[in-house]
């Protein structure tokens, strides 16, 4: 008996819908199934400019996407990491880079040696031992080249892009590979009597669309996963109290920084995402500690250029669905849950969700053991990203506003408490069970936000002080020379992947959509 899925229906477009459609159309070839995406132009998307992490390169390679073409058509820039300002205390600034610090030696992590050296020199900089940090400071960028053991051979990077243009780019990719798009709003969801699975959706036009597998990309409302299946939602507002964002694009400044900036404000934080044609800005805040009007004034008072559209306010509840896959519905994107974009994980969580679906791709029998595994792994990923975000709020010395008093003194998950306690002992950090963020990421934020270990890994003493000083000097010099060899970020884009100017008629539409 042929139990293959005959029809996959994706409800909702935007980044989540079209990432899903592009991926499925790439791998479900040779007439395996039909894929239909339903979206309405009347329903706006949340996209306000997206910032990504390096795993997006795996996504692009799996789809066979030409990077220069992708960068041009999404008005993208390159990204070497995230700069955090005012998080540990007002006036602080640190950088969370993509890629490692220094070089591990004698089987001991580099950061153990750095902690040892800092006991000798309290002013020792961590960022001088990261190529991404130095290049970001000097607005430089290049792709990795074949340069032997040089840091230039392993430059990790991501992208900053226009979310609406990205969805359009992926739509063209998917439709070229057979995905059928239907315009219209879903007004009814029919369930099967025998098992409660979704049988069909009905459009405003009256058309009834049947499917075997439904992908819910309808945003916060979760039309299928919640509206029809009543799956339930686990809120995390206790640990991540921000519940709103005010957003607006503005004119770009003179520079074109290859990094996203997150600046802590009185009741949350402000992002700055530089694109080729504009700057994306938003203020994520807690409505319990400030008003929408004050948040708008804070954002407008801290723009680097003139605003290009009206401000928009977005409401959200941080957390996740109690099941990401329920019966024959898989929720992706905002339908699956929401983690604020403090570490640029939104697109990655869509990407990993689609990849996990392909790993456990069902037929019409929908084996529960596979659904349970999908939910277990996705829950782990969401929770560990959550804990990493909580670290930014809880590891602070700020006491200047009620918001930061709350964050500094709130209880935190046991997993995060254990991470912090282990670090405070000897500066050790570990990546566990393939969690998303590496030991380098944890170390960057912990050191950047002024957590100070009581000691360092005793194995760092296998190297004498004089030998260590020489090795550290060599590493620092190598990274500086590598940075000096890199071109300016703007020049690299101009030479390889500069976007054509948007037609005047479409500029307003892009800004309103974003």
Residues annotated as catalytic are: 79
- For the record, the structure tokens of 14 come out as 């935007």
Phi, psi for 446 (deg, rounded to 5): -65, -45
Beta bridge partners of 160: 51, 77
Q: Which helix (H) or strand (E) element contains residue 22? A: helix 14-27
Task: In whole angstroms, give the CA distance from residue 100 to residue 77.
Answer: 22
Tell me the three state secondary structure of residue 245: strand
Phi, psi for 222 (deg, rounded to 5): 55, 60
Task: In whole angstroms, give the CA distance from residue 167 to residue 18.
Answer: 6
Cβ-Cβ contacts under 8 Å for 49 (sequence gap 6 or more)? 160, 161, 162, 163, 249, 273, 275, 278, 279, 280, 514
Cβ atoms 419, 429 nearer than 8 A: yes
- Return the beta strands (E) in 32-179 as ranges: 34-39, 50-51, 77-79, 81-85, 93-97, 158-161
Tell me the three state secondary structure of residue 124: coil
Among 261, 27, 287, 70, which residue's Cα sits nearest to residue 170? 70
Query: Nearest 5 degrees, angle CA 240-CA 46-CA 389?
Result: 20
CA-CA distances (angstroms) from residue 44 to 185, 244, 512?
Answer: 12, 17, 9
Query: Following CA atoms 282, 285, 290, 291 in sequence, which dihedral angle do they give, to the nearest 10 degrees?
Result: 50
What is the per-residue DSSP string for 48-86? S-EE--TTHHHHHHHHT--HHHHHHHTT-EEE-EEEEES
Cβ atoms 423, 454 nearer than 8 A: no
- Region of residue 186 (left: phi > 0; alpha: psi -120 to 50; beta: else): beta
Task: In whole angstroms, give the CA distance from residue 166 to residue 49.
Answer: 10
Tell me the three state secondary structure of residue 279: strand
- For the record, the structure tokens of 360 come out as 């456990």
Task: In whole angstroms, give the CA distance from residue 286 to residue 298.
Answer: 13
Cβ atoms 20, 215 nearer than 8 A: yes
- Residue whose pair of structure tokens reads 């977005």 in the numeric block: 314
């Amino acid at each position: 008996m042929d139990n293959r899925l005959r029809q996959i229906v994706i409800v909702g477009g935007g980044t989540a819908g079209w990432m899903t459609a592009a991926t499925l159309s790439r791998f479900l070839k040779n007439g395996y199934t039909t894929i239909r995406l339903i979206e309405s132009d009347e329903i706006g998307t949340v996209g306000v400019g997206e910032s990504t992490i390096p795993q997006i390169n795996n996504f692009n390679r799996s789809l066979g996407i030409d990077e220069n073409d992708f960068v041009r058509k999404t008005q993208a820039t390159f990204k070497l990491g995230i700069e955090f300002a005012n998080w540990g205390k007002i006036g602080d600034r640190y950088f969370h880079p993509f890629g490692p610090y220094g070089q591990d030696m004698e089987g001991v992590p580099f950061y153990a040696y750095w902690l040892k050296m800092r006991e000798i020199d309290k002013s020792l900089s961590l960022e001088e031992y990261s190529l991404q940090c130095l290049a970001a400071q000097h607005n430089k960028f290049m792709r990795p080249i074949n340069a032997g053991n040089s840091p230039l051979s392993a430059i990790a990077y991501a992208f900053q892009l226009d979310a609406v243009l990205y969805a359009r780019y992926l739509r063209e990719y998917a439709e070229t590979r057979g995905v059928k798009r239907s315009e219209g709003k879903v007004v009814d969801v029919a369930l099967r009597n025998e098992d409660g699975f979704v049988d069909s959706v009905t459009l405003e036009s009256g058309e009834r669309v049947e499917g075997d597998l439904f992908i819910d990309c309808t945003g916060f409302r979760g039309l299928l996963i919640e509206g029809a299946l009543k799956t339930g939602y686990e809120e995390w507002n206790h640990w991540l109290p921000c519940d709103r964002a005010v957003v607006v694009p503005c004119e770009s400044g003179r520079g074109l920084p290859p990094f996203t900036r997150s600046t802590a404000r009185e009741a949350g934080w402000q992002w700055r995402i530089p694109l080729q044609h504009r700057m994306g800005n938003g203020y994520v805040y807690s409505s319990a500690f400030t008003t929408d009007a004050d948040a708008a004034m804070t954002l407008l008072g801290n723009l680097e250029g003139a605003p290009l559209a009206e401000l928009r306010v977005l409401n959200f509840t941080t957390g996740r669905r109690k099941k990401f896959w329920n019966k024959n519905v898989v929720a992706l994107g905002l339908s699956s849950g929401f983690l604020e974009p403090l570490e640029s994980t939104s697109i990655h969580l869509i990407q990993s969700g689609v990849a996990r679906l392909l790993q456990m791709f069902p037929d019409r029998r929908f084996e529960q053991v596979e659904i349970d595994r999908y939910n277990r792994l996705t829950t782990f990923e969401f929770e560990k990203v959550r804990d990493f975000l909580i670290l930014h709020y809880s590891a602070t010395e700020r006491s200047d506003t009620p918001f930061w008093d709350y964050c500094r003194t709130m209880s935190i998950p046991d997993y995060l408490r254990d991470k912090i306690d282990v670090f405070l002992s000897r500066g050790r950090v570990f990546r566990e069970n393939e969690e998303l963020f590496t030991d380098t990421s944890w170390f960057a934020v912990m050191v950047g936000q002024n957590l100070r270990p009581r000691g360092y890994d005793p194995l760092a003493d296998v190297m004498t002080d004089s030998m260590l000083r020489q090795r550290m000097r060599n590493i620092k010099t190598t990274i500086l020379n590598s940075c000096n060899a890199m071109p300016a970020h703007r020049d690299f884009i101009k030479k390889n992947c500069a976007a054509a100017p948007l037609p005047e008629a479409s500029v307003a539409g892009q800004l309103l959509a974003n």
